[in-house]
Structure 1
């Protein structure tokens, strides 16, 4: 942990089967809390969101129209 007004905790994790991060900042398949990302899925028209979490898991969520909601009971999050 770097002691600062906005502290930074440095951790890294290696996942040998994590192909979503083959081109990570620390090399193939290394993750940090700062390597999370959301990919838009669909050619031309978006159909889903793919969230890549810090633990190496990927979560697929439906593309939402304005005003729609989606609740993920496993992860306990709601997209709006």
Structure 2
């Protein structure tokens, strides 16, 4: 998930600023604010994304197989009508 990585990067930058600046409360407040903002976003983990991608690929494959099967059945039905 991109959120924690971004928070870590921002946190390290804020730590650098706080080391040269006596306003350490700013770092704490900024982290809390950013954490709250990212918490409200509809983000998924990489693992969840990969699972959904695999599920979608499987579903697409199954759909293609079913479409081929229906097309074959329709051809058979058309032949049977022509023969009758």
> Greater relative contact order (Cα 8 A, min sep 6): structure 1 or 2?
2
Bigger proportion of residues as helix: 2
If the length of structure 1 is used for normalisation, what is the TM-score?
0.20
Bigger proportion of residues as strand: 1
If the length of structure 2 is used for normalisation, what is the TM-score?
0.19
